[in-house]
Structure 1
Amino acid sequence: MLKKELGTLEVFSIATGAMISSGLFVLPGIIYQESGAGLSLSYLIAGILLLPAVFSQLELSTAMPRAGGNYVTVERILGTPAGIIAGITNWLAISLKSGFALIGIGTFATLIFPELGETQIKLIAIGACVFFTFLNIISTESSGKAQVIMVAVLLLIISAYILIGYRAMDFSYFTKAPKSKWANILGAAGTVFISYGGITKVASIAEEVKDPGKTLVRGIIASFVITLILYVLAVLVTQGILSHRELSTSYTPISLAAGYLAGKPGIWVTAGAALLAFITTANAGIMTASRNPMSMSRDRLLPPIFGKVSKKTGTPVFSIIITSAIIISIVAGLSIEKFAKVASLFMILTYILTNLSVIVMRYSGLANYRPTFKSPFFPILQALSVVVYIILIIDMGSLTMAISAVVIVLCLIWYVVYARNQAGKKSAFLHMLANITNQEIAGNDLEEELLTILLERQDIKEDEIDRLIKNAWILDMDRPSDIQEIFDIFAEAISERLPIEKEKAREKLFAREQQASTIIFPGIAVPHAIPHIVIEGKNFFDIFIIRNKEGIKWENNQTVYTAFCLAGSKDKRDMHLRALMAIAQIVQTDIFTNDWLEAKNTTELKTILLLAERKRN
């Protein structure tokens, strides 16, 4: 298990640092050519349209805070084919986000050498990619504190730029700018999605976050809101400082505008901030992106070579090299504008899968799916966002649609040819189908994984009682019953799991009840009984549970709603007493009293028992 060392400030800094990059320092000039006067509106729309994906990602990350990000959650939820698509698109999205930062490094070289063209900018980007590839192969150590400092400096510089630049704005530039149709503004918003790509990167480090239920939500929401505000205001100020010709031809619009505000120092300060953002985004992006194929390889969805880690450097060398090769190929083959569109395309595909995953999880009926953050306005928000994201892809042009279709088809071909026989886990989608068809086709893999996460989230260290409860025999009855029937059922279950005949077990249960009533807490709203017997032999102990919401008529016409039956050998006397004490503590907890009779199935009943507070050894 990875160490949980990241707090709210670190989560905020990682997300913000990943978002503030080429999307702010390079992209405005490119987008302006399409959006015209609606430039800042495109940034605002992109941010608003991203909100459903942010909510959905938070819900999934607080329910399944696992390393691997979107790939892990989508693969567990929608199944292996969708998992492959998510893994590949997330791999490409983060890779291209890094590539766009690398292009930013080349672009800012034009401040020193103004005569550089697009080819020279790409060569500089490729050279930087080679350098960072070598750096990632050698070591991947990074500092959370350094990230916090870097983001603080970036936010300070951008805030100063907005506050100083506002006073110098010429609002006539807005009226002089070319008017754009809503279709153009929306298309530009699709391209701008790359600017907010850092939000998805945080999902990859969710397992390393302290108290993710609170920390992730606070850090990501704060990062998203602040970054959106800064993006819109900074772009708005830039529109008010630069003329139409300057803004439409500049690859460094923020620095160009800062030059009007503070001369050479303004240019160098903003350029330094931009380069700092590009370097950290590019380096961290190559590292993060290379972990996607590594995780897929460990799940046997890619060849083993992708998962091999160098003994000397401790890094996945092959994954890093392939990731960098993909970045270099796309940097060399696409124009800067097309590069931004393709990068945003893969981001949008990832967001579509994320929203679909939340829909499936909510309808799957999984008892242990318990996110601490639930997306509001479900499922309308998720369904509408998927439709809007598809419209954005269509509006981005035929090239992006063709690329998305090719990637999806290739992923499905790979699943059929290679990964289909490797997949073993059952998805939440199968659980949803099981709910609809009332068939047991899903298995318990995902339920068990989610339960493990719940126990980790509440910092519960399992003891022997927990392990007994996990393996306990449990029955949920939906009709009134009596002690005779319950003891018959218990006796049969005991005889199947322990070395004792059914009739002998039944006799012992009734004999124990005649000695003294096994009802506990008869005065509380939901009384329970704990019949218990001793069997011959050694090293035997088991727990049997029946829940009956309609009630069980016990001795003396008393009604109980749950019977916990304990059966064990004499040498397990200590375990017997510990189990009695544990059950007595559990049934008095708030989680038990409030949720027990409302539980939908036996899996949820076990979860309630395991999550209830009690003294553990």
Structure 2
Amino acid sequence: MKLKKELNLMNVFCISTGAMLSGLFILPGLAYALAGSAVLASYLLAAILALTGLLSQAELASAMPKAGGTYFYVMRSMGSAVGTVYGLITWLSLSLKSAYELLFIGTFATFLIDINLAPLVWAVGICLVFLAINLVGVKEAGRVQGYLLLGVLLVLIYFCFQSSSSVKAQNFEPMRGKGLGSMLAAAGFVFVSFGGLLKVASLAEEVKNPGRILPLGMILSLLVITLLYLTVIFVTIAVLGVNLGGPENSKWPLSAAAEIFMGKAGLVVLGIAAICAIITAANAGIMAASRYPLALARDEMLPAFFNRINHKFRTPHVSIFITGAVIIAALFFDITVLVKAASSVLILTYIFACLAVVVLRESRVQNYRPPFRCPLYPWVQLAGFVGFTVLLFKIGMTGLITCSGLAVLGFLVYWFYGRRAASREYALLHLIERITAQELTSHLLETELKDIIHERDEILKDRFDHLIEDCPVIDIAPAVTWEEFFAMAAEPLAKDLHVNKEQVYNLLIEREKESSTVLNPFLAIPHIVIGGEKHFDILLARCREGIDFGKNAPKVHTVFVFIGTKDERPFHLMSLAAIAQIVENTDFEKKWMAAKSPEALRDIVLLGKRKRQG
């Protein structure tokens, strides 16, 4: 059973932005303790690096909008072992991030509400509520995100406008004492704030028109959240100064700043806004994390029960419940460990996204066709790889050890369970094949990508598609004459239509003698009529060195042979129109000559842009 496609641009924006808002209420005080007022530079650096990862992820998500997000891309680019390790650590990373967000909700709730409940109890209760919401459906969860996000944004805008009377320029003076190393360490520490981009990518399969909406929603979200972060943190530093890093203010810095110029009411309002913001992030985390076990189970890297879809709500209920159990278990960990582990794995995620784009592009997999292509390739990926690696090591040993431990756990799951089903073809093999000139691949990856394009673009196959899927394809290396070519073409066409081979050959020869069927220096479309009713077939052919159609005709490389009965004349004309649209695509000739196999030639026709008959 398929997941519902019901997320629009506003849903994508709200889920991504809401998932990134939590860091604004949780981390500024802790980051200020590391970098001083240079924490603004830390957030800006983290946002710039997040942009490099976003552009890579946006390309991958637009090409392969499947549940599991970056896991799916890594699996298809670098293979089952790397994909399984990556998918599991990303699932656990998102779960850990949701856990620390839920703990902060519990802490805020204890501070604001006079009820004798421990923060852990609040965290567990809210987790269970959001598990129920996600079970009902992603659209419902996305709608909740939208309402909460709107309220939080309005409060933050009001906070910034009201702060003008309490801003003190001298509060920025201590920024010189921390140094570059502290600024980089803080950038690594707060990078987890930009995890919403990863979360929304994992929901790609449930997005309408994902080729356009996903990249646009992700880019808009990052721009808005970066501006918001820098503005609000600037105001908070200007109001609190060195007190921002104090033991009390570091827990809820925005509330402490609001209390100075808005009184007790400001503290309460910002506290409620913080709870709403962190709830949106925790909800998005549950929503996104639950899609990773689903994707792993689809690839048989985890047991099949993870892949179960609820018949009523069409949501992955087993995966949601197990993700919830992992999050509740993580609530018992130290919060600093949770933040560093989540940041470390998130940074690793962006590194893999950059590498996946490089592997897929350089492998020249024909059916890798992202509607959105990352600009300035490969410099964006190179900058991201270097920057993320520096941040990863600046976070410290706690994050690295946790990240390594999760990677070992993922490899053990692959080795003892997933390895038995690890027969999937991946782009790295195509890249090695291209470099070494050895034949290492079949057409499995290309076929899977073709099916994804059909689903992504909501292509409804018509009769022409079904005909091309089954028609004969011949690929000729040396140059041949037109008579030799027709002899080659006659046999498979005669076999398909159960007619005499010599009859087909003679009809082709007679038709060509009447007038040339060469339409341009690259293309010819011979066509003949046979007796009978309701028979029609097409043959696709490529000749690398060219077919010689005579002194007055050039050597052509592409031939579509039509054969049919008189009553199929309307379909004959429709097929001509379809081919005319396909060959008009600007890169048709380049793709046709670069195709590796007869099946690759077939895919070029099947995926060519054209209007389909209803």
TM-score by length of 2: 0.89
- Relative to structure 1, is the Cα distance of residues 135 and 546 closer, same or farther in structure 2, using a 3 angstrom cutoff? closer
Counterpart-to-counterpart distance in 2, 1:457 and 1:325: 32
| Residue matched to 1:148 | 146
Match for residue 236 of structure 2?
238
Q: Deviations over 1:201-249 (max 9, x none)?
A: 1112223333323222222111101101111121121111114235332
Aligned AA for 1:8?
A: L
Instruction: Determine the structure 2 residue equivalent to 1:429.
Output: 428
1:582 lines up with 2:567 in the alignment:
no
- CA distance in 2: counterparts of 1:71 and 1:586, whole angstroms: 36
For 1:460-609, list aligned pairs within 5 A: 460-477=459-476, 480-494=479-493, 499=498, 503=502, 505-514=504-513, 516-517=514-515, 519=517, 522=519, 526-532=522-528, 534=530, 541-548=536-543, 551-554=546-549, 557-559=552-554, 561=556, 562-567=558-563, 573-575=566-568, 577-589=569-581, 592=584, 594-599=586-591, 600-601=594-595, 605-609=601-605
Q: Which residue of the partner structure matches residue 15 of structure 2?
A: 14
- The alpha-carbon distance between structure 1 residues 592 and 152, as it changes in their structure 2 partners (threshold 3 A), is same
Is contact 1:87-1:292 (8 Å) kept? Answer: yes
Gaps of 5+ in 2: none
- Residues 475-497 of structure 1: CA deviation (Å, up to 9, x unaligned): 45565432122112213444665
CA pair 413-217 structure 1, distance change in 2 beyond 3 A: same
CA distance in 1, matches of 2:253, 2:110: 12
- Give yes or no for the alignment of 1:32 onto 2:32: yes
Shift of 1:164: 2.6
In 2, the alpha carbon distance for the partners of 1:322 and 1:85 equals: 18
Q: Which residue of 2 aligns with 1:319?
A: 319
Give the structure 2 partner of residue 616 of structure 1: 613
Is the Cα contact below 8 Å between 1:589 and 1:612 reproduced in 2? yes
Quote the offset at 1:453 in angstroms: 3.5
Q: Indicate how the Cα distance of structure 1 residues 178 and 127 shifts in structure 2: closer, same or farther if over 3 A, else same.
A: farther
Q: Which residue of 2 aligns with 1:79?
A: 79
CA displacement at 1:58 relative to structure 2: 0.5
Q: Distance in 1 between matches of 2:19 and 2:553?
A: 63
Pick which of 464-473 and 171-180 moved more: 171-180
Does the CA contact (< 8 Å) of 1:162 and 1:234 recur in 2? yes
- Alpha-carbon distance in 2 for matches of 1:436, 1:534: 47
1:181 & 1:114 partners in 2: Cα distance? Answer: 42
**Structure 1: distance between partners of 2:363 and 2:149:** 40
Residue identity opposite 1:585 in structure 2: A
- Write the letter of the residue equivalent to 2:445: L
C-alpha contact 2:149 2:280 (8 A) present in aligned 1: no
**Which amino acid in the other structure matches residue 437 of structure 1?**
T
What percentage of residue pairs aligned between the two structures are identical? 35
Deviation at 1:604, TM superposition (A): 5.6
Counterpart amino acid of residue 343 in structure 1: A
Give the direction of change, closer, same or farther, for the CA distance of 1:255–1:455 in structure 2 (3 Å limit): same
Question: Per-residue deviation at 1:279?
Answer: 2.1
Amino acid at match of 1:428: A
Offset at 1:172? 1.5
Question: CA 1:587/1:314 → structure 2, altered by over 3 Å: closer, same or farther?
Answer: closer
Q: Does 1:195 align with 2:193?
A: yes
For structure 1, the residue ranges without an aligned partner over 5 or more in a row are none
Local SS of the residue matching 2:243:
helix
Pair 1:408 & 2:404 matched: no
**390 and 566 in structure 1: CA distance in 2 versus 1, 3 angstrom threshold:** same
TM-score norm. by structure 1 comes to 0.89
Q: Please give the per-residue CA displacement for 1:545-599, whole angstroms capped at 9, x wherever unaligned.
A: 223465433257323623212345x5xx545x35531342134337535333222
- Partner SS state of residue 486, structure 1: helix
User: Could you tell me how far 1:61 is from its partner in structure 2?
Assistant: 1.1
Return closer, same or farther for 1:496/1:382 CA change in 2, 3 Å cut-off.
farther
CA deviations 1:103-142 (Å, max 9, x no partner) are 22123135337999xx954454345435544665677661
Cα deviation for residue 614 of structure 1 reads 4.1
Given that 2:148 and 2:280 are in contact with CA atoms closer than 8 Å, whether structure 1 keeps it comes out as no
SS at match of 1:588: helix
Structure 1 Cα separation of the partners of residues 312 and 543 of structure 2: 59
Structure 2 residue aligned with 1:352: 351
CA distance in 2, matches of 1:188, 1:10: 31
Q: Shift of the alpha carbon at 1:186?
A: 0.9
Partner of 1:375, secondary structure, is coil
- Secondary structure at the aligned position of 2:421 is classed as coil
Within 1, Cα distance between the matches of 2:367 and 2:134?
38
Aligned to 2:451: 452
Secondary structure, aligned partner of 1:421:
helix
User: 8 Å contact 1:475–1:547 — kept in the other structure?
Assistant: yes
**Is this contact kept in 1: 2:67–2:294, CA < 8 A?**
no
Q: CA deviation at 1:198?
A: 0.6
Following superposition, the deviation at residue 156 of structure 1 comes to 2.1
**In the alignment, is residue 43 of structure 1 matched against residue 38 of structure 2?**
no
Pair 1:222–1:459, CA change in 2 (3 A): same
Give the Cα–Cα distance (whole angstroms) in 2 for the partners of residues 185 and 352 of structure 1: 20
What is the aligned-residue RMSD (CA, Å)? Answer: 3.1
Provide the residue aligned with 2:226 in structure 1.
228
Distance across 2 between alignment mates of 1:134 and 1:585: 51
CA change 1:480–1:593 in 2 (3 A) is: farther
Q: String of CA shifts for 1:485-526, please: whole Å, max 9, x gaps.
A: 211221344466564565554334324444x33616x4x565
The answer to whether the 8 A contact 2:109-2:275 is kept is no
Mapped to 1, the partners of 2:577 and 2:402 lie a distance apart of: 59
Q: Aligned partners of 1:431 and 1:330: how far apart in 2?
A: 40
Provide closer, same or farther for how the CA distance between residues 533 and 460 of structure 1 changes in structure 2, counting only shifts above 3 A: same
What are the residue-to-residue correspondences of 1:199-214 with 2, within 5 Å?
199-214=197-212
Check whether the contact 2:302–2:418 (CA below 8 A) recurs between aligned residues.
yes
Residue-pair matches, total: 605
Deviation at 1:609, TM superposition (A): 2.8
Contact kept in structure 2, 1:531 and 1:563, CA below 8 Å: no
Partner Cα distance (2:128, 2:205) in 1: 30
